[in-house]
């Protein structure tokens, strides 16, 4: 049996992302990677918490932050997590077209989130002169939120690359794990945002 037949079985298994050893390895390895990412963000959160009142005479967080825009951003990102679940649901049912559709919606929501974030940063910098270099608080804020934003950018590029690469050939046991771990990554980004929303913005306006 050639590699092609092994990866394109007549009946797709229910968990195509874990049907091969390579898939199982990717699945587990990515969970471990997310464990490491958790420590990375925990370190950034710790740094932020230590420095969030070190405004160096500049504006404090309760003068800067408004919850309206952040609420919209949260909605975009939470919804995108849901749509990526739909995409994975269709992957398990071997419905490639619907998976692509829901991934497309996920990406669109991700871009909407990113646009809001860029506007937010632009606003802070130009309206309030609150920058990366204005205080330790500024450095910590832009680093924490920026690391998250960087993850969003990377996630979007990743999902788009997978969508375009596999657009013509559909789902098989080689690319199913790739889609699956990309969606795991997307969920992780979403979870981190929940913490940013709480620790940075909610605690910031109080």
Binding region for another protein (CB under 8 A): 3, 7, 21, 24-25, 28-29, 32-33, 35-37, 39-40, 43-44, 46-47, 50-51, 54-56, 132-140, 143, 158, 161-162, 165, 174, 178
To the nearest whole angstrom, how small is the minimum distance from the Cβ of residue 135 to another protein? 5
Q: Of 3 and 68, which has the nearer Cβ to another protein?
A: 3
Query: Which one, 161 or 202, has the nearer CB to another protein?
Result: 161
Distance CA 201, CA 185 (A): 23
The burial of 144, by beta-carbon neighbours within 10 Å (0-12 exposed, 13-18 middle, 19 or more buried), is given as: buried
Query: What is the closest distance, in whole angstroms, from the C-beta atom of residue 115 to another protein in the complex?
Result: 22
DSSP per residue, 55-67: -TTS--HHHH--H
Nearer to another protein, 39 or 206 (CB): 39
Instruction: Work out how close the CB of 54 gets to another protein at its nearest, in angstroms, rounded to a whole number.
Output: 3
Q: In the bound complex, what is the minimum distance in angstroms from residue 140's beta carbon to another protein?
A: 7
Contact indicator for 124, 66 with CB cutoff of 8 Å? no
Question: Given the complex with another protein, which of 174 and 197 has the nearer CB atom?
Answer: 174
Region for 47 from its dihedrals, namely left if φ exceeds 0, alpha if ψ lies in -120 to 50, beta otherwise: alpha
What are the structure tokens assigned to 204, written together?
């910031």
Candidates 125, 135, 127; CA nearest to 53 is 135
């Amino acid at each position: 049996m050639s590699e092609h037949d092994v990866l394109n079985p007549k009946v797709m298994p229910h968990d195509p992302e874990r049907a091969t050893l390579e898939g199982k390895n990717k699945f587990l390895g990515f969970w471990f990677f997310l464990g490491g990412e958790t420590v990375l963000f925990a370190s950034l959160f710790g740094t932020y918490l230590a420095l969030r009142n070190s405004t160096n005479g500049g504006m404090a967080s309760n003068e800067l932050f408004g919850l309206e825009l952040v609420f919209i951003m949260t909605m975009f990102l939470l919804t995108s997590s849901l749509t990526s679940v739909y995409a994975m649901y269709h992957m398990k049912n071997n419905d490639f077209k619907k998976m692509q559709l829901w991934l497309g919606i996920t990406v669109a929501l991700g871009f909407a989130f990113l646009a809001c974030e860029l506007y937010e940063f632009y606003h802070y910098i130009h309206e309030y002169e609150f920058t990366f270099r204005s205080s330790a608080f500024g450095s910590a804020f832009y680093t924490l939120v920026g690391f998250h934003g960087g993850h969003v950018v990377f996630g979007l590029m990743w999902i788009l690359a997978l969508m375009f690469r596999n657009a013509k050939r559909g789902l098989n046991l080689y690319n199913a794990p790739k889609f699956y771990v990309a969606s795991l990554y997307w969920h992780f980004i979403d979870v981190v945002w929940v913490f940013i929303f709480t620790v940075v913005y909610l605690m910031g306006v109080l």
